[in-house]
């Protein structure tokens, strides 16, 4: 069944190529993005830790084949997400994106190794992926990219919606089974200055794992913004009744065209299973606080001096806080 569905997608896409405009000149360009920081521990378990860190690098190429077709390949270079004391010294490289996009009026279709849409809006509002991921991405409650297809349609000036079918393993893993992940997400820009989004995804095996995301943002004359997000994961990793709930609030205030104050607070918790006295995921439950000032000397460079902490909810675990100097460079 899965091979049949993929065959249909592959056979339909080439037929659309004949809509290319005769006057269009194809163009492309390379791109690169770098995330780096220096951090110094100042409280709790973070005391005494200090290091320069190259967090991530993206290298890729994008190409406009026609007015309707666009292609992109993007390689993600980062550190392994493991507990090894050498993890920050090692590097891995994955192809994060390799997809074809078709655009026609209000319709956009992405096919291949695509960006997932669960928290794209949140990242745009947060504006600081280079120093911390948004809620679902940071606490592994969603995938930033995956093999699959996404359809986005703009119904009106204030409503659009996207629907995705993907493998579900994420861009760092190969397809291990014939189980798909399905998702849908409408975005609404009403009332004035508000932007809100509902996102729901599910993957059905013997047990169905579901994720519900709610987000809203208010922007006042591009001077200040406040946003809130909630994520509820049911049957995490297909374990019955193992649920995770997280919420995040963040705000920013523009001091000048080049400088901005910002702050954010996260809280992530898990439920208590029947017969237990502690939450099933207590070791990873906790709160995070980020606050600082960002300076953008030119359009392609961001830098931020900020405080960043993580405090577990478990009584036997110690949290800690850092002072960070983070930099993002786009080429």
171-179: Cβ within 8 A, 24+ apart? 171/76, 171/94, 171/95, 171/96, 171/97, 171/113, 171/143, 171/144, 171/145, 171/146, 171/147, 172/94, 175/147, 178/1, 178/2, 179/203, 179/204, 179/205
pTM above 0.85, yes or no: yes
**CA neighbor of 183 nearest in space, from 146, 211, 223:** 211
Predicted pLDDT of residue 294:
98
pLDDT in 10s for each residue of the chain, 331 residues: 545 454 444 455 555 444 455 688 999 999 999 999 999 999 999 998 999 999 999 999 999 999 999 999 999 987 665 445 555 556 778 899 999 999 999 999 999 999 999 999 999 999 999 999 999 999 999 999 999 999 999 999 999 999 999 998 888 776 767 889 999 999 999 999 999 999 999 999 999 999 999 999 999 999 999 999 999 999 999 999 999 999 999 999 999 999 999 999 999 999 999 999 999 999 999 999 999 999 999 999 999 999 999 999 999 999 999 999 999 999 9
Q: CA angle at residue 58 from 146 to 291, to 5 degrees?
A: 95
169-208 pLDDT per residue, tens? 888 776 767 889 999 999 999 999 999 999 999 999 999 9
Residue 194 phi/psi, 5-degree rounding, is -100, 145
The verdict on whether omega for the bond into residue 271 sits within 30 degrees of 0, i.e. cis, is no
65-92 pLDDT per residue, tens? 999 999 999 999 876 654 455 555 567 7
Residue 235: helix, strand or coil by DSSP? Answer: coil
Predicted pLDDT of residue 75:
95
Domains of the chain, earliest start first: 35-55+116-330 (2.40.160.10)
């Amino acid at each position: 069944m899965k091979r049949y569905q993929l065959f249909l997608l592959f056979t339909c896409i080439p037929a659309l190529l004949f809509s290319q405009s005769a006057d269009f000149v194809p163009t492309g360009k390379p791109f690169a993005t770098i995330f780096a920081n220096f951090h110094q521990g100042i409280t709790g378990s973070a005391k005494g830790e200090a290091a320069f860190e190259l967090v991530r690098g993206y290298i890729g190429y994008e190409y406009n084949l026609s007015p309707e077709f666009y292609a992109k390949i993007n390689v993600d270079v980062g550190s392994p997400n493991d507990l090894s004391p050498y993890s920050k010294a090692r590097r891995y490289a994955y192809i994060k994106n390799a997809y074809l996009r078709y655009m026609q009026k209000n319709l956009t279709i992405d096919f291949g190794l695509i960006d997932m849409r669960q928290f794209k809006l949140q990242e745009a509002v947060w504006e600081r992926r280079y120093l911390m991921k948004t809620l679902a991405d940071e606490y592994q409650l969603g995938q930033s990219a995956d093999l699959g297809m996404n359809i986005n349609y703009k119904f009106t000036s204030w409503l659009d919606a996207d629907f995705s079918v993907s493998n579900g393993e994420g861009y760092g893993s190969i397809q291990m089974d014939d189980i798909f992940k399905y998702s849908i997400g409408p975005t609404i820009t009403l009332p004035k200055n508000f932007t809100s989004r509902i996102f729901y995804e599910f993957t059905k095996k013997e047990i169905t794992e579901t994720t519900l995301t709610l987000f809203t943002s208010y922007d006042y004359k591009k001077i200040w913004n406040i946003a809130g997000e909630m994520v509820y994961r049911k049957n995490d990793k297909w374990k019955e009744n193992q649920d995770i709930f997280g919420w995040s609030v963040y705000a920013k205030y523009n001091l000048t065209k080049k400088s901005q104050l910002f702050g954010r607070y996260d809280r992530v918790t898990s439920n208590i299973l029947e017969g237990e006295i502690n939450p099933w995921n207590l070791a990873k439950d906790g709160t995070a606080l980020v606050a600082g000032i960002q300076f953008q000397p030119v359009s392609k460079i961001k830098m931020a001096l900020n405080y960043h902490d993580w405090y577990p909810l478990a009584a036997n675990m110690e949290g800690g806080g850092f002072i960070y100097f983070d930099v993002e460079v786009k080429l």
